[in-house]
């Protein structure tokens, strides 16, 4: 699925032609859930795996036509074939999740079996009365959310940021990604682990869905339930460390509810050099949620000030973006309904060429009015549509099951490398 030559990490924008991307194909971990533990798993509902996979096949089919695709399970299995790397990861996981008694058992497993267990979960071995009476089925809980590869790490420039997840149920995702980056088997780049940098501080939280690299000098960050101000301060500190010249960090506060506002990329994503998809009530309307501008010069924060919204501030910084309204301009109800189903969550595979769910028809109509041709993933996969020669287009994938996990195409993909953009 990927070439043996190592990939040099480099992401300087949200829209540069996608040259390498990381995904995780949803597996049995998604089905290892009941309505009782769905809330703990951070889902709004349980998924039908067979349908979710058919929808996900459309996403991967498009990506495989357009870019180099890396799969988490493949990388993890190859890593676990190295005895020293295997032991380091197993000991780290068992220590953090307090299941020390399973180390020897896990170490004896072959790499392909162990890889599945680390993602799909490990049932408790009932050897004691305490274990028998516990209201818990798993020693290692399934990684229900791992198909949202965007969250556990992010590439900013040449840096791989291993994110400190807001919920412990997702911590192993970050541990696996840290091991993959540090293995030196697949990627070249600098690694920043926010668990280590923060000394595992409970107030530091940061997730990739809140991080948008708009330009090589502009980072847009959401501050809400998944990314704290302390997490952003830590990111800015590291951003400053490698900064020369002028840089800008724009922070957008987010509501704590509804749960569809979980990350910034659920209300704002880039489509092209001059267009952004926005959830109008939050991004363009008057609201109590601040936009804060942090200016950095030669490695130091020189000024922090309030701004009159993301779009106004970006215009002042030379990034003039025309908003395309999620749900269309006509009806507030359509806007709210389609935002709930990830209608603002777009992945750009090149400037003006983006991926979206087919179900958000009013959003697609609005895109069409703005010059985007609507094409299906099947047309791309079956080579009925030449995406390379196309101008602006939005490629649709079906989305009846995948959105139940709480995310869209951007959430399900983690760009590793993008081409530069002629702004």
Does some domain include residue 125?
no
pLDDT, residue 256, reads: 86
Which of 8-17, 70-79, 325-334 is least confident? 325-334
- DSSP conformation letters of 1-58: ---SSPEEPBB--SSSPEEEEEE----HHHHS--TTTTTTTT-SS---HHHHHHHHHH
Mean pLDDT, the chain, integer? 92
Q: Could you tell me the end-to-end alpha-carbon distance of the chain, in angstroms, rounded to an integer?
A: 32
| CATH code (residue 158) | 3.75.10.10
Size of the chain, expressed as the number of residues it contains? 423
Q: Is residue 111 part of a domain?
A: no
Number of domains in the chain: 1
pLDDT at residue 309 greater than cutoff 70: yes
Residue 103 lies in a domain: no
Instruction: With CA atoms as reference, report the closest residue to 166 among 222, 206, 122.
Output: 206
Strand pairing category for 300-307 and 7-8: unpaired
Range of the domain at 229: 7-81+142-418
| pTM, two decimal places | 0.94
Chain segment 374-405, per-residue pLDDT in tens: 999 999 999 999 998 889 999 999 988 888 77
Q: Is residue 95 part of a domain?
A: no
112 is a domain residue: no
State yes or no: pLDDT of 37 exceeds 90.
Answer: no
The answer to whether residue 179 is domain-embedded is yes
Residue appearing with tokens 């390498």: 20
Q: What is the pLDDT of residues 227-266, one digit of tens each?
A: 999 999 999 998 877 767 899 999 999 998 777 788 999 9
Greatest extent of the chain over all pairs of C-alpha atoms, in Å: 66
Residue 406 lies in a domain: yes
**115 in a domain, yes or no?**
no
pLDDT digits (tens, 9 = 90+) for 65-113: 999 999 999 999 999 999 999 999 999 999 999 999 999 999 999 999 9
């Amino acid at each position: 699925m990927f070439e043996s030559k190592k990939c040099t990490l480099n992401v300087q924008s949200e829209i540069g032609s996608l040259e390498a991307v990381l995904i995780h194909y949803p597996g049995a971990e998604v089905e290892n859930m009941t309505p009782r533990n769905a809330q703990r798993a951070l889902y709004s509902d349980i998924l039908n795996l067979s349908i979710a996979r058919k929808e996900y096949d459309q996403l991967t089919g498009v990506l495989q036509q357009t870019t180099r695709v890396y799969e988490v399970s493949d990388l993890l299995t190859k890593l676990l074939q190295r005895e020293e790397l295997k032991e380091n990861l197993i000991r780290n996981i068992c220590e953090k999740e307090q299941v020390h008694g399973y180390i020897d058992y896990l170490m004896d497993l072959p790499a392909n079996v162990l890889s599945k267990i680390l993602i799909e979960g490990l049932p408790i071995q009932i050897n004691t009365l305490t274990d028998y009476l516990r209201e818990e089925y798993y020693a290692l809980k399934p990684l229900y959310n791992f198909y949202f590869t965007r969250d556990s790490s992010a590439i900013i420039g040449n840096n791989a940021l291993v994110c400190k997840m807001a919920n412990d149920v997702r911590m192993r995702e970050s541990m696996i990604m840290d091991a993959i980056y540090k293995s030196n088997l697949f990627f070249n780049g600098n690694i920043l682990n926010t668990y280590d940098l923060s000394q595992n501080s409970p107030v530091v939280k940061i997730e990739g869905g809140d991080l948008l690299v708009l330009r090589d000098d502009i980072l847009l960050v959401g501050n809400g339930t998944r990314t704290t101000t302390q997490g952003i301060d830590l990111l800015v500190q590291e951003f400053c460390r490698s900064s020369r010249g002028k840089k800008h960090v724009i922070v957008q506060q987010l509501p704590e509810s509804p749960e569809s506002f979980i990350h910034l990329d659920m209300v704002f994503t880039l489509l092209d050099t001059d267009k952004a998809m926005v959830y109008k009530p939050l991004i363009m309307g008057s609201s109590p949620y601040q936009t804060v501008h942090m200016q950095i010069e030669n490695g130091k924060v020189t000024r922090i000030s309030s701004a009159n919204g993301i779009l106004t501030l970006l215009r002042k910084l030379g990034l003039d973006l025309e908003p395309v309204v999620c749900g269309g301009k006509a009806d507030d109800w359509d806007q709210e309904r389609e935002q709930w189903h990830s209608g603002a969550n777009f992945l750009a595979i090149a400037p003006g060429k983006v991926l979206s769910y087919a179900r958000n028809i009013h959003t697609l109509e609005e895109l069409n009015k703005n010059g985007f041709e609507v094409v299906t993933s099947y047309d791309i996969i079956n080579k009925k549509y030449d995406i390379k020669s196309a101008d602006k287009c939005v490629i649709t994938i079906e989305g009846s099951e995948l959105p139940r996990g709480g995310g869209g195409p951007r959430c399900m993909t983690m760009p590793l490398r993008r081409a530069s953009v002629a702004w």
